[in-house]
Every structure is written in C-alpha cells, then in structure tokens.
Amino acid sequence: MSRYRGPRLKIISRLKTLPGLSKKTPNRIQKPIKKKHSKPLKSSKYPVRLKEKQRLRFHYGLPERQLLQYVRIARRAKGSTGQVLLQLLEMRLDNILFRLGMALTIPEARQLVNHRHILVNGRIVDIPSYRCKPQDLISIKEKQGLRNIVKKNIEIFQKDKMRVPPHLNRIKQKSQYSGLVKKIIDNKRIGLKINELLVVEYYSRRV
C-alpha cells in the first residue's frame, strides 16, 4: 500500500487523534452505525489490532510495506519488540523535526527533508527515514524564507503548549533554530497513545 494522500480528516474521524498526520480536527463526530444481525457475531481481536496498526501507520505516514520492515527489524533486536518498534519510528529524521516543532506535521517535515532543506551534522540529508543517533545536530539551510517558516511553526508549537521531549533539545542562535538529539527516546515519552503490542500481534504471522 502506498503512502496515503487522501483526505486526512476522514482518517482522523475514524482513528481519532493523529497529531503527526494533521493539526485539524473534524467538526462532526461520526456515530457508530448499529447493524442488525440475525446471529450474534463472534468476538474477534483482529479489528482492534488492525485499528491500532492503522493509527500507527497514519500517524508516522508510512506505507504498509515500510512499517512491516520496521516490525521485522524490531523483532530481530534485543528487548521488547513493541518498544523497539516505537523507538525506531521516533528516531526517524522527519519525526524528529516534528517533535522539535520545526514542522507542524510529519508530512510537512518530510517535505522539508525531500527538498534538501535539512542538514544533519552539517551535511544535507534528503531521506525522511534517516535514523538519527545521539549527539546528531539537526539544522536548517541558511535561507531567510526557510527561517521564517520554521520560526512560525515553532511559535504555533509553543502557542499550543506543546513541549520538546526530554531526549531532544531545541537550540536558538540569533535567528537560526537547530535541534540536538541527546539520547534514544524513552517509550514512555512518545506522544501517541497506542498499544504497540497489538501492532506486533497484528504482524505476528507475517514476520
């Protein structure tokens, strides 16, 4: 499945809050449709697992194949597969920009990276999935237009009373903003409330 490019509010109304996908919220709240069945349906965990997987995928803006690859990597690593999976996703460059407030959504952060506006340790990185490491310094190109965009995003970020997580540090030098990755994120600090174990269970037969 390719990256989703359709209406975002439709997804949010179905999967609830997805801060990485969009800052907007649907005006109407969709009520669940009650269907009449002649026989009682058997309870199944599959729809619950599917919904959690979809929330994770749409929040980080990943194609199905890429998310599956992350699950496989997490499964081979030491520690809890679910926690390692969330750490891998949180340390992506596009997500780091979003968490620093330099971009209001992950799709916006991905656009900055794709257009070669982002530097990691002084070198241009144009791969949104680039895995950041502790002590990586993330900065913006020396362009006035870019500075204004990032400055505006950070002002909105602060106005919404959002905070930079403890594993990151946003630095301001004159009119230039940059960010430092201090350490690997603690899974308790992840902004999205999700049951990662259900996601791992969803993919259990495919990895």
SS (H, E, C) 60-87: HCCCHHHHHHHHHHHHHCCCCHHHHHHH
Domains of the chain, by residue range, sit at 1-25+44-91+192-207, 92-183
Backbone angles phi, psi at 172, to 5 degrees: -120, 120
In CATH, the architecture of 92-183 is: Roll (3.10)
**DSSP for 145-169, written as a single string:** HHHHHHHHHHHHHHHTT----TTEE
Phi-psi domain of 83 (left: phi exceeds 0; alpha: psi -120 through 50; beta: other): alpha
pLDDT of 13 reads 58
Task: Give the Cβ contact number of residue 14 at 10 Å.
Answer: 14
Q: Is the pLDDT of residue 41 over 70?
A: no
Between 205 and 12, whose confidence is greater?
A: 205
pLDDT of 65 reads 93
Q: Is the pLDDT of residue 64 over 80?
A: yes
9-39: per-residue pLDDT in tens? 555 555 566 665 655 555 554 555 555 555 5
Task: Return the DSSP state at 131.
Answer: B
pLDDT of 143 reads 85
pLDDT of 8 reads 54
pLDDT of 183 reads 92
Between 46 and 18, whose confidence is greater?
A: 46
β-partners of residue 92 are 131
Q: Is the pLDDT of residue 121 over 80?
A: yes
pLDDT of 20 reads 59
Nearest to 201 by CA among 61, 51, 77: 51
Q: Is the pLDDT of residue 126 over 90?
A: yes
Between 37 and 98, whose confidence is greater?
A: 98
Read off the pLDDT band of 1 (50, 70, 90).
very low
CB 70 within 8 A of CB 91: no
Share above pLDDT 90 across residues of the chain, in percent, rounded to a whole number = 49
pLDDT of 194 reads 82
CB 110 within 8 A of CB 3: no
Between 125 and 38, whose confidence is greater?
A: 125
Out of 1.20.1250.20, 3.90.420.10, 1.10.1050.10, 3.40.50.10700, select the CATH number for domain 1-25+44-91+192-207: 1.10.1050.10
132-159: per-residue pLDDT in tens? 999 999 999 988 888 899 999 999 988 8
